[in-house]
Chains A and B, each alone.
Chain A
Amino acid sequence: KAGVTQTPRYLIKTRGQQVTLSCSPISGHRSVSWYQQTPGQGLQFLFEYFSETQRNKGNFPGRFSGRQFSNSRSEMNVSTLELGDSALYLCASSLPRGPTDTQYFGPGTRLTVL
């Protein structure tokens, strides 16, 4: 079974631009969660989508948004990029999300904002 895939793997953008990241979950998984990972803050939860609906959201500004398609693929968008948005963005997929469900992570997208 193929794992979680994320594209692109690396991105370089400048301040003020916007970016879209993509995540394809493991086949059969319907829940996709997004995380931001930085050296100082660790893994910070952004949001989770299940069946095309946002189920939960972390404490990030409205510049961070996402969506999920009917095939469970998910996209994350960051508008008006800031230097502090430089990070590794990870997505994780699971079966219908519950506190006992295992999340499987993708390799991440490394975003650098100049």
Chain B
Amino acid sequence: QQPVQSPQAVILREGEDAVINCSSSKALYSVHWYRQKHGEAPVFLMILLKGGEQKGHDKISASFNEKKQQSSLYLTASQLSYSGTYFCGTEIQDFGNEKLTFGTGTRLTIIP
């Protein structure tokens, strides 16, 4: 079942913070985050595992709440280069039958 992302779109000024949420109705094993710029391929950002810690690099980080089956992506002090559509991909614990199911995306626009 497809995870639900919120918000669907957000517009920020450079330097502002954003949070993108990804929720699933199923018990998750991992959550993958990607960013896709217009006309380009999705680019991997990070992966969070069940039982894992919050991850991050540069000013982008993410958390995984197992009780809520929800992951959140945090973008702090946003830069123009952060613009794009962010997708979460979720995996349930079904070894040998892994399938990455993506949300419909959150379009992030950063304006100067």
User: How far, in Å, is B87 (CB) from chain A's closest CB?
Assistant: 6
Counting chain B residues whose Cβ lies within 8 A of the other chain, the interface size class is 20 to 34
| Chain B residues with CB below 8 A from A33, complex form | 100
Tell me the complex Cα distance, A55–B49, Å.
22
Contact assessment for B91 and A99 in the assembled complex, using a CB-CB cutoff below 8 Å:
yes
The answer to whether the Cβ of A45 comes within 8 Å of any Cβ in the partner chain is: yes
Interface size on A, residues (CB 8 A): 24
Contact present for A97 and B32 (CB under 8 Å): no
> Does A11 reach chain B (CB closer than 8 Å)?
no
Alpha-carbon distance between A99 and B51 when the two chains are bound, in angstroms: 14
Nearest-CB residue, chain A, relative to B103: A42
CB within 8 Å of A: which B72-112 residues: 87, 89, 91, 93, 95-105
Starting from the known contacts A56-B97, A99-B91, A103-B32, 4 additional A-B residue pairs (CB-CB under 8 Å) come to: A45-B100, A99-B30, A99-B98, A104-B44
